[in-house]
Amino acid sequence: MAAINPDSFKSAFSEWVKSLNKTINSVIAIDGKTLCNSGGSQKEQSAIHMASAYATENRLVLAQRKVDEKSNEITAIPKLLEALDLENPIVTIDAMGTQKNIAKPIIEQKSDYILALKGNQKTLCKDVRLFFEAESAKENSLWIKELYEETSKGHGRIEKRVCMVSSQIEWLEPKDQWANLNTIVRIEETRTRGKVTSTAHRFFISSLKDNAQNIGKAVRAHWLIEKALHWSLDVVFHEDKSTVRAGHAAENMAIVRHTALHMLNNATKLFKGISIKYLRKKADRKASTLHAILSQSLS
């Protein structure tokens, strides 16, 4: 694993994904994850950071790329986008990827984006925040016509999410600097656990038209990359505990885990009610289960 060329391995992985003939027509979430123990004891060998593109509806990693040392996701994401054949899906990226040179190739591939706003785009985030604070305080805002609200219960808490969208952005000074920017978004999240209630706001820019339900669902789907991918890699495969680090081994093993996780996810339709963690153990103990998982991944 240490000697395999990771670029060749990634190409083989991409070809395998294409061979599955999956129609990707929902949300592609892009985010990074650090393999905590992949760094050596020497300071010059830091833990590697992998950026992944994840099809949320298909539960499938489409591509991944190691972030170069002394760099960050800003330089890795454009290269990751080059490996994708988008055309139609919505691409969601956290604040680190909210860059003009990232929005542009997404539009060039005939897709749409939803990009989070935080401190990396300080002025833009402040302007959007002030706009929504002013408009939401009005009884009848002429500039906000799209609202979508949903409530969910679970784990002893109630969560209410309100998506507020506005396409009236002519006042936004950097509007023309962002490829096909059409809307600004505020997500209000209110969480109640017992007698304690907390509220938080998140802000986004998007190339989508002002459809609050569509945007709200896409923003929520983005977090599946944390819950269904990163969490599963740690809980099922103990990725953060892995000390594999020689040569290219850590990067290549990350690709192997992505492949195995997809096979397990794909096989859950045959083994209903069984967790992925238990299904992996069952495959280790029973050859017929392993055969069924491998056969399902090729169907």
**Do the domain assignments include residue 275?**
no
- In which domain, by residue range, is 74 found? 6-267
206-215 mean pLDDT: 92
Residue 205 has pLDDT above 90, yes or no: yes
Structure confidence at residue 117 (pLDDT): 94
Cα-flanking dihedrals φ and ψ of residue 160, to 5°?
-120, 130
Structure confidence at residue 44 (pLDDT): 56
Structure confidence at residue 69 (pLDDT): 62
Least confident of 45-54, 87-96, 183-192: 45-54
- Residues 295, 25, 34, 99, Cα dihedral to 10°: 160
216-241 mean pLDDT: 89
Q: How confident is the model at residue 178 (pLDDT cuts 50, 70, 90)?
A: very high
Structure confidence at residue 242 (pLDDT): 82
Tokens of 180: 């096909």
**Do the domain assignments include residue 295?**
no
DSSP letters, 39-51, are S-SSTTSPPPEEE
**Do the domain assignments include residue 178?**
yes
Structure confidence at residue 42 (pLDDT): 52
**Do the domain assignments include residue 160?**
yes
Q: How confident is the model at residue 298 (pLDDT cuts 50, 70, 90)?
A: low
The b-or-e profile of 182-205 (16+ CB within 10 A means b, else e) is bbbbbbbeeeeeeeeeeeeebbbb
Structure confidence at residue 25 (pLDDT): 67
Least confident of 47-51, 156-160, 187-191, 209-213: 47-51
Residue 260 has pLDDT above 60, yes or no: yes
E strands in the chain: 27-34, 49-55, 60-66, 90-93, 112-117, 146-154, 157-166, 183-193, 196-206
Structure confidence at residue 146 (pLDDT): 83
Rg of the Cα atoms in the chain? 21
**Do the domain assignments include residue 297?**
no
**Do the domain assignments include residue 169?**
yes
Summary mean pLDDT of the chain: 86
**Do the domain assignments include residue 19?**
yes
Structure confidence at residue 188 (pLDDT): 94
Whichever domain contains 145, its CATH number is 3.90.350
Least confident of 26-35, 71-80, 198-207, 274-283: 71-80
pTM of the model: 0.86
Domain count for the chain: 1
- 74-119 tens-digit pLDDT: 788 888 888 887 777 899 999 888 999 999 999 998 899 999 998 7
Tokens of 245: 């680090």
Would you give the DSSP letter of residue 38? Answer: -
Q: Would you mind telling me the total number of residues written for the chain in this entry?
A: 299
- CA 52, 296, 232, 27 dihedral sign is positive
**Do the domain assignments include residue 55?**
yes
Q: Which residues pair with 113 in a beta bridge?
A: 91
Q: Per mean pLDDT, which of 10-14, 41-45, 211-215, 238-242 is the most reliable? A: 211-215
- 114-154 tens-digit pLDDT: 999 987 889 999 999 999 999 988 888 888 878 899 998 87
